[in-house]
Amino acid sequence: MSSTARRVLITGSSGLIGSEAVTYFDQRGWDVHGVDNNMRRDFFGPDGDTTWNLERLRHATRHFTHHNQDIRDRAAMLKLMAELHPDLIIHCASQPSHDLAKDRPFDDFDVNAVGTLNLLEATRRSCPESPFIFMSTNKVYGDAPNEIPLVEQATRWEYARPEDYHGVSESCRIDACLHSLFGASKVAADVMVQEYGRYFNMPTVCLRGGCLTGPNHSGAELHGFLAYLARAVREGRTYRIFGYKGKQVRDNIHSYDVCTFFEAFYHNPRIAAVYNLCGGRENSVSMLEAISRFEDLIGKRLDVQYVDENRVGDHICYISDLRRIHADYPTWRQEYTLERTFAEISRGPQGDAA
């Protein structure tokens, strides 16, 4: 490794976005350091275990160093940041389930909010000039998006008014609404990332993602929409649909396209930036539509169980308005269409055959 190589620190490096970022920057000659202690297995059980992904990274990369550390360990994060002095910090580690948070509220807040604070302060002390990228979530908007008037169509819910065509923008309020405890802990982290940017004049960005997807997602029930759905079809699992007639809509972005924006922000950082980062209207799909597409691609029928009760705070129709991010980064565009993403995920992790 050249002494002049740029260095990136990636938390949650065995997860979907973190592992994609490891591969992406490794292939571009960066010195890549990942922090991950496989808490996803603790949160979700065997389905969430990311050991396989870590082993894949160890074999597939040339410039990757894994650190089995916990972002809640303040002293460890301060020490690691001081030793590495990274040129870029990409913070993907989280407790990612808004359903699980109610059962483990202290773990949820300590990982999502306190862990983020630990990383921000470590960055401020050791490398405040290095861009800090935080993977936030559209759950910071709570259930406020459900106030947008909708119309029911054959296979999906759709926005009723022309002015809502592009979806939910960053101006959507984040208070006076129901978030779930997960959404609240991510709001705390999101606002703190912005505050470190403004108060200390640090280059930070909150990326409010929706359905982030790709073939290396350890999908589990209630988290990892497309990955778990494809797995359920492949393995003959019973798939539970929670409310809204299965017509709830999400936009989806491939993990590779998330990483191309990481690089774009590194080259043109801003202070306390906030962007929606997801698939937009062209990459939106309802649950019924996704089930039908995976059944066709995999060649199996899905065993569906409908639960006539929606998840607390769940969005009915959520499409990310991407006009702000496109205005500030006009050369950044997604390479993965929804159809390409479906085809890749249908083959399973690492492209395994069904």
Residue 98 has pLDDT above 80, yes or no: no
Which residues are CB-contacts of 3 (< 8 A; sequence separation ≥ 6)? none
Dist CA 228 CA 123 (whole Å): 35
- pLDDT confidence of residue 224: 67
Q: Side by side, which strands form the sheet with 88-91?
A: 64-67, 31-35, 7-11, 88-91, 132-137, 204-209, 273-277
- Greater pLDDT, 216 or 10: 10
- pLDDT confidence of residue 216: 73
Calculate mean pLDDT across residues 106-128: 98
Residue 349 has pLDDT above 70, yes or no: no
* Contact between residue 48 and residue 14 where contact means Cβ atoms under 8 Å apart: no
Lowest mean pLDDT among 220-229, 262-271, 292-301: 220-229
Going by pLDDT thresholds of 50, 70 and 90, the confidence category of residue 2 is low
State the chain's mean pLDDT as an integer: 94
- Greater pLDDT, 348 or 109: 109
pLDDT tens for 155-207 read 999 999 999 999 999 999 999 999 999 999 999 999 999 999 999 999 999 99
Long-range contacts of 127-130 (CB under 8 A, 24+ apart): 127/81, 127/85, 127/86, 127/87, 127/89, 128/200, 128/202, 129/202, 129/203, 130/85, 130/86, 130/87, 130/88, 130/89, 130/203
pTM, entire model: 0.93
Dist CA 266 CA 244 (whole Å): 40
pLDDT tens for 320-330 read 999 999 999 99
Residue 55 has pLDDT above 50, yes or no: yes
Compute CA distances 353 → 14, 69, 350, whole Å: 22, 33, 9
Where is 32: in which H helix or E strand? strand 31-35
- Greater pLDDT, 71 or 312: 71
Residue 352 has pLDDT above 50, yes or no: no
Going by pLDDT thresholds of 50, 70 and 90, the confidence category of residue 13 is very high
Dist CA 199 CA 124 (whole Å): 11
- pLDDT confidence of residue 144: 97
- Domains parsed from the chain with CATH numbers: 7-351 (3.40.50.720)
Structure tokens at 32: 């890549």
Calculate mean pLDDT across residues 230-248: 95
Burial class of residue 18 in the structure, from the number of CB atoms within 10 Å of its CB (0-12 exposed, 13-18 middle, 19+ buried): buried
- pLDDT confidence of residue 351: 40
Of 13, 197, 211, 15, give the one whose Cα is nearest residue 120. 197
Going by pLDDT thresholds of 50, 70 and 90, the confidence category of residue 11 is very high
Residue 354 has pLDDT above 50, yes or no: no
